[in-house]
Each structure stands twice: as C-alpha cells, then as structure tokens.
Amino acid sequence: LLQEMTSSIPFGLHSGYKNETLRLWQSSGSELHPHNLMLPLFITDESPDAKQDIPSLPGVSRWGVNSVLEFLRPNVENGLSSVLLFGVPEKVEKAGDGGAGETDDNPVMEAVRRIKKEFPNLTVACDVCLCPYTSHGHCGVLNDDAEGSINNRATLPCLASQALAFARAGCDIVAPSDMMDGRVLAIKNKLAEHGFGNKVSVLSYAVKFSSSFYGPFRDAAKSAPTFGDRKRYQLPCGSRGLAARAAQRDVSEGADMLMVKPGLAYLDLVRETKNSFPHHPMFIYQVSGEYAMLYHGAANGAFNLETTLMEVLTSMRRAGADVIISYFTPRVLEMIK
C-alpha cells in the first residue's frame, strides 16, 4: 500500500494532532494570553461617576474618571495589561482645529492621571485624533473650499500637540488614528523635542480602512462627521497596494507598533503587513461592528458566543496579530484565567 501512495505526506496528518497537547503544539503562536489583549474605553465628561450604557454596543459603557477605576479593578485582577482611551467630550467648546483635545477640558487627561495612579503597571494608550473635538467631526483641519477637504499640513501640528498633551498627562502610548500623511513623524519629533522620545511610544493606525463596521463606534464616541464621509483619508476596502504603502510610510517615520483596522475582513492584510514588518508588534482592532455581529448573532441563537469568539480571536493571532483591541476583553480574560 505504501509503495502505491504518491502523496508528499504518505502517512497523512492526523497523527500530528490526535490529542489536546498535540493540537496546542500545532497552534503555537496563536494562543491567547492577557498581554495579547487591549481594552478600549470611552471616557465622558458628563460627571466623574458617570456610567452611560451604549445601546448599539450592548455591555459597553462610557465611563467617568472615577467610575472607570471601579470598572477596571476586577479586570486588572484578571490580568488586564493595557487600555486604549477615547475621549467623549460633551461640555467642551468644539472648534475647527480640535484644540480642546489638548487641554484639561478633554476628560482623557484626568482619566490618564487617575488610572496611572491607581494602576501604575497598567499600560495606557490614548487615541490621537481631532474628530471628537472638532465642530465638523472630521479627523483634520479643513480647507476653506466648497468640498470641505482636509488640510493635511495644518492638521499635523494639531495632532502632535494633542499627543504631547497625552504624554504630559502620563500615558505610555499615543495612537494616531487620523490617517493623515506625515503624522507619525510630526508626533515623534514633538515627543523628542519635549523629552518624551524614549518614554512614550507610537502605535500607528497604519492600515485603517473606511468601513461600515465603525457604525456603533461613532454612536459610542459621538464622533460622526457633520457632513460627508472619511473616504478621502481612510483607505478604500479593496486596496492592497495602499495598505502596504501606508504601513511603509509609518514605519519609515518611526512608528513603534502597527495596527490593521478593522480585523476579521482584513486578515489577509494583517498577514501581509506582518510579513513585511516582522519586527514591529502588530495590532488588530476588532471594531464595534465586529463586536455587535458576534453579540447579536449569539443572542439570536446562531452560535455559541464563547466558542465563536475564541475561534475569531485565534484566527487573528494566527494571521499575525500580537495584540487584539477588543470590547470583549473583560469576557475573554474571564475565559482564559
């Protein structure tokens, strides 16, 4: 029989994964540990003790600068090692340049200080973008033209100043999500000029696509643009070439870590980006629409949430993600502890 077999694997594959230990060996590099997860948090200025549930993201809330500490405590005890903060300002005066984002009126500033004081070993990242703080809801300063196009050059110093303000508040990572050309270099230069060059790292939303999967997030962050869309600066969903060039751009400007966003529909580009830059930690943002799909699918009996969630997260790790930013992080920490 063996002489008649022509397979390049004449004895088959089944013997290599016949029990749980062997299956784990075959899955090496795709395991999930607490350090592979980052928890996104929405910080509101409504009141320090606020807890605002988000209907489009069941189980997710906006937090005040006090209430977020109580929410974090059991998660830190379960191994949570990093968070990503988004400001949801409701009391600030918004302007065309988003300048309020770099002031203490931004609730993220106080949240960083309190979180680092309460949990000094928790790594804190701050999303850097103008959209929560601009009057028009776009991610950059606008030109004075009929189209309301982005003024990339004028936007860069605004982003760099916001990043510096987060650094001064005590964050460990700044994460520019705006998709402006040159923003990583502008931020790295600003941090270096003020003594934070070796203290605060840059996690770049390098490969960020224009996506309908962001819908619930825009509700949560109250950051939808007042006109138009973001297709002129976020990547078109069918583009591989632009994805590669965007990652190369940000690496050349000094990004410490890279992100692909969204996750599940873009795993091919996660793998391509990781292959191109194997020495840069790779992040996937499992975005709000992905969370909502899994939540509602399970709630309606389509599948078991925990089983399917672990399959999805494992596939992200297999594709090359070192860290997954997920609203499911508290649940996953309970599952794997």
Instruction: Characterize the bridge pairing of strands 61-63 and 51-53.
Output: antiparallel
- The structure tokens 């002129």 sit at 232
Task: Quote the tokens at residue 305.
Answer: 């949430």
**Could you tell me the CA-to-CA distances from 328 to 115, 189, 290 in Å, in that order?**
20, 35, 10
Contact 26, 44 (CB under 8 A): no
Instruction: Report the alpha-carbon distance of residue 82 to residue 123 in Å, rounded.
Output: 4
First to last CA, the chain: 48
Which candidate, 72, 77, 74, 79, places its Cα nearest to that of 40? 72
DSSP state of 59: T
- What does the block give as tokens for 95? 């302007």
* φ/ψ (deg, to 5) at 285: -100, 110
* Catalytic residue (choose from 51, 188, 231, 261): 261
* 261 counts as catalytic: yes
Tell me the one-letter amino acid at 150.
I
Q: How far apart are CA 291 and CA 288, in angstroms?
A: 5
- Residue 208 annotated in active site: yes
Query: Exactly one of 117, 190, 199, 208 is catalytic; which is it?
Result: 208
How many residues comprise the chain? 337
Spatial distance between the Cα atoms of 246 and 240, rounded to a whole number of angstroms: 10
CA 296 – CA 139 distance, rounded (Å): 30
What single letter denotes the amino acid at residue 138? H
202/163 Cα distance (integer angstroms): 9
The label of the residue with tokens 């005890």 reads: 77
Residue 33 and residue 131: Cα distance in Å, rounded?
33
Q: Name the residues annotated as catalytic.
A: 208, 261
